[in-house]
Amino acid sequence: MHTCIRATRCLSAAGWLGLLAICASCGRDVRMAGKALQDVRVRAVEHGGVRLDEQATPQQVATVLLSAMLDDIRATDAAEREQAAEVQLDVCAASTIAALRPAVYSRPEWLFRTVSSWAPMISKYQDSLETALGEAGSRLEVVHRSGATKDGDEVCDVRLELQDPDDARAGVVLRIRLIHVAPEESGSTGGVKYWRVFNLFFEAGVRSLHRAERASG
C-alpha cells in the first residue's frame, strides 16, 4: 500500500493514516469517553524488561508493540485495555504522527485515535501473532529504506508473515513502519534518536506461507 521511501512520500501517508484512525475510532470512541488523555512524548521507556532507548533495535520496538496489541485484543476489562494502550502509545512516533494532526483534534486525541486503530487491524490474526511472539521475534524481518524523511530521520519496515485462520496455506504480511526520531524529553542529548512506530499496513494480496507448504508437503 505504501511504497514510500522519501520524506514527502512517507508523510503522504497522512491521508491513509487519517482515514484509518477516523474509521476505526467510530467503534472505539467509547474508550475516549470521560478519559483524561495525556500528551504522549517520544522518550526512553521500558516494557517487559526491555529498555527502549537509543540502543533499542527496530525488532525490539516492534515486538513490544505487537505484544501490547495482542494484550489489547484479548483484554477482558477496561484496566487491561488501558494498560495495553499506554504501552502502544509509548512506542509510537508521537512527534511525527502529531505533525499530521487535523485541526479538529487535540494532539492527545489524535495520537490516541491513531494508535488505538492499530490493534483492530490484526485481531483476525491474533493466534498467528501469539505464535510469532513465542518464537522470540525470529520471524520479524527488518527492511531498511533508502532515503529519509524531510527532517533527515531514517525509516525502516519490520515485516511479519501472519497465517490466515481461514486458510492454513495462506497468509498476509504485516508491515510496521518505524522512524528514527529525536526524543521530546527534557535533558536529552543532541543526536540521540529512538526507533518509534509511525504506522502499520498490510502488503497487497494474500500469499502462500512457505512454512505451511513444507508442512503439508
Look at residue 206 and tell me if it is in a domain.
yes
What CA–CA distance (Å, rounded) separates 199 from 18? 11
Please indicate, yes or no, if residue 1 is contained in any of the structural domains: no
Q: pLDDT digit string (tens) for 113-138?
A: 999 999 999 999 999 999 999 886 67
- 3-state SS assignment for residue 196: strand
Domain assignment present for 19: yes
Q: Which three cell numbers stand for residue 100?
A: 499530521
pLDDT digits (tens, 9 = 90+) for 150-190: 666 899 999 999 999 988 888 899 999 999 999 987 666 67
Determine, yes or no, domain membership for 27: yes
Residue 2, in any domain of the structure: no
What is the count of structural domains for the chain? 1
Full residue range of the structural domain in which residue 68 is found: 7-216
Q: pTM for this one?
A: 0.79
Are residues 70 and 126 in contact, defined by beta-carbon separation less than 8 angstroms? Answer: yes
